[in-house]
């Protein structure tokens, strides 16, 4: 037989590849952290006269006890304990620039268009903030855990105890690397026999506390993030547990100057379009202003465990 219509012979009638209606996002940790009371938001730097925000620390509300004083004697003055932490808000930006040809061939499920870039801008700003927080919490002076050893229940308990001894007010928040979370979950499953209740994250809690929320154990709200950095030259991870006052972060809203090519997303991210007409190029540029600092060192404990 001859003259069959074979796919391989339809070069003019078929395309080499057709785009699926489905779209796969490349892997990234897209878990937001905020909205936990342990994270102290220092406010926006907008209109404050400086990119550096200072949070005063003061030893009042019972910080110093009364001194015993003999009847008829004058009481000596008590020195007021104070301190401060400063947060420097810095610029974080991103630009995706696409040619007209790249944009006009964008299929219905859209990846190279303004909506996709706008959504990306908001998520990227949230991820950047998470990475800043994780890069601060890995170096509290107090630590628990051992280099090269998996995270254990004992380490987790020791972290809680360290904070309680340091008079840190609950609720506590833990940020663990997914590897540490896996170790902890395995330890709980293998050794506690379910004697201590794990409270998994409900849908409402995830909406309130972000996708990174994994649930509560022993009264500690546990979040995971792949942005938790390594310690000891890559041999370990440096997660953390802390209460309010250990970490403070700040941001800034960016004034919208009425340019129709600009918009403010999520109240904090400036998203703008920059057209280079002669080249047929359009850039979608986003800016966020963020900063994060360690505040009261004793209010946090770094959790070291095997990589």
From residue 148 to residue 167, the character string flagging contacts with other proteins as x (rule: CB under 8 A) and all else as - is xxx-xxxx--x---------
Stretch that binds other proteins, among 34-42, 83-91, 106-114, 217-225 (CB under 8 A): 83-91
List the structure tokens of 190. Answer: 């293998």
From residue 161 to residue 200, the character string flagging contacts with other proteins as x (rule: CB under 8 A) and all else as - is -----------------------------xx---------
Among 111, 226, 281, 283, binds other proteins (CB under 8 A): 226
Question: In Å, how far are 50, 124, 140, 196 from 136, measured between CA atoms?
Answer: 22, 19, 8, 30
List the structure tokens of 244. Answer: 């309010």
Using CB under 8 A as the binding rule, whether residue 90 contacts other proteins is answered as yes
Please name the residue that has the structure tokens 């897209």. 30
Nearest CA to 199 out of 225, 217, 172, 224 is that of 217
Residues 50-79 that bind other proteins (CB under 8 A): 52
- Between CA 24 and CA 241 the distance in angstroms is 34
Given a contact cutoff of 8 angstroms between Cβ atoms, the answer to whether 45 and 89 are in contact is yes
Among 234, 258, 260, 267, binds other proteins (CB under 8 A): 234
Which ranges of 188-273 does DSSP label H, i.e. alpha helix?
A: 203-209
Using CB under 8 A as the binding rule, whether residue 233 contacts other proteins is answered as yes
Stretch that binds other proteins, among 3-11, 206-214, 256-264, 290-298 (CB under 8 A): 290-298
Tell me how far, at minimum, the Cβ of 245 lies from other proteins, in Å. 14
All residues at 6 or more sequence positions from 134 whose CB lies less than 8 Å from its CB, including other chains: 175, 225, 227, 228, 229
Question: Which residues sit at the interface with other proteins, rule CB under 8 A?
Answer: 52, 85-92, 132, 135-136, 138-139, 141, 143-144, 146-150, 152-155, 158, 190-191, 226-227, 229-235, 290-294, 297, 304, 307
């Amino acid at each position: 037989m001859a003259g069959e219509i074979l796919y391989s012979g339809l070069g003019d009638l078929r395309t080499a590849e057709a785009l699926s209606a489905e779209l796969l996002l490349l892997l990234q940790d897209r878990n937001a952290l905020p909205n936990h009371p342990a994270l102290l938001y220092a406010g926006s730097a907008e209109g404050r006269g400086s990119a550096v925000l200072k949070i005063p620390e003061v030893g009042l509300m019972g910080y110093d006890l009364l001194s015993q004083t003999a009847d008829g004697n004058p009481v000596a003055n008590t020195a007021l304990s104070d301190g401060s932490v400063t947060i420097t808000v810095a610029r974080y930006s991103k630009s995706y620039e696409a040619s007209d040809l790249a944009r006009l061939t964008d299929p219905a499920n859209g990846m190279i268009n303004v909506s996709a870039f706008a959504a990306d801008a908001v998520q990227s700003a949230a991820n950047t903030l998470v990475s800043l927080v994780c890069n601060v919490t890995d170096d509290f002076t107090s630590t628990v855990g051992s280099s090269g050893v998996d995270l254990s229940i004992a380490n987790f308990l020791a972290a809680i105890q360290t904070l309680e001894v340091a008079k840190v007010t609950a609720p506590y928040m833990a940020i663990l690397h997914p590897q540490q979370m896996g170790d902890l979950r395995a330890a709980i499953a293998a050794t506690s026999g379910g004697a201590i209740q794990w409270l998994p994250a409900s849908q409402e809690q995830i909406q309130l506390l972000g996708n990174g929320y994994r649930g509560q154990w022993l009264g500690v709200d546990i979040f995971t993030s792949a942005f938790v950095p390594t310690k000891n030259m890559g041999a370990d991870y440096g997660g953390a547990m802390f209460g309010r006052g250990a970490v403070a972060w700040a941001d800034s809203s960016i004034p919208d100057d009425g340019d129709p090519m600009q918009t403010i997303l999520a109240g904090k991210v400036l998203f703008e379009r920059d057209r280079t007409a002669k080249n047929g190029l359009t850039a979608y540029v986003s800016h966020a202003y963020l900063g994060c600092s360690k505040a009261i060192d004793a209010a946090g404990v770094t959790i070291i465990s095997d990589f």
